[in-house]
Amino acid sequence: MIDFLQDSYEWLLALHIISVISWMAGMFYLPRLFVYHCQVEKGSETSELFKVMERKLMRVIINPAMVASWIFGLGLAFGMDRWSEPWFHLKFVLVLLMSGFHGFLARWRKQFERDENSHTEGFYRKMNEVPTVLMILIVFLVIMRPF
């Protein structure tokens, strides 16, 4: 299996990058939708449209992209035996945090779906920065491998 992963490195890397880009695009967009959703009246036609947009973004793009990112990323990690490298440990923790944030987005989306959102648009504006900061740290770790 390790030989297959090593022989497929370029394919795994390309698919990992594509899936991460898709995951991040959704993670950047969904909190922005929440900001706008906060500005409309619950039960309005616009609110119902936001619910559809948020649900489809999560189910069609964000969830599958996260799963693909994990599958291809783990394939790369096992194929290249990154588990002993200290920078990789920190990257792995940051990706776990990103996945946890994904979980929060899913929870907040369900609250909007039930018209039970309790957060302000300011809250979602701040939360919109979380995936950006995590992504920057992860990219620097992967490229620089500082330790």
- For position 137, what pLDDT does the model report? 98
37 annotated binding-site participant: no
pLDDT-derived band at 35 (thresholds 50, 70, 90) equals very high
Q: Report yes or no: 105 and 62 within 8 Å, Cβ to Cβ.
A: yes
Share of the chain above pLDDT 70, in %: 100
Helix axes 130-144, 86-113, angle to 10 degrees: 160
The pTM of the full predicted model, rounded to 2 decimals, is 0.93
> Higher pLDDT residue, 1 or 50?
50
Overall domain count for the chain: 1
- For position 7, what pLDDT does the model report? 87
91 annotated binding-site participant: yes
Residue range(s) defining the domain that contains residue 95: 2-144
pLDDT > 80? residue 1: no
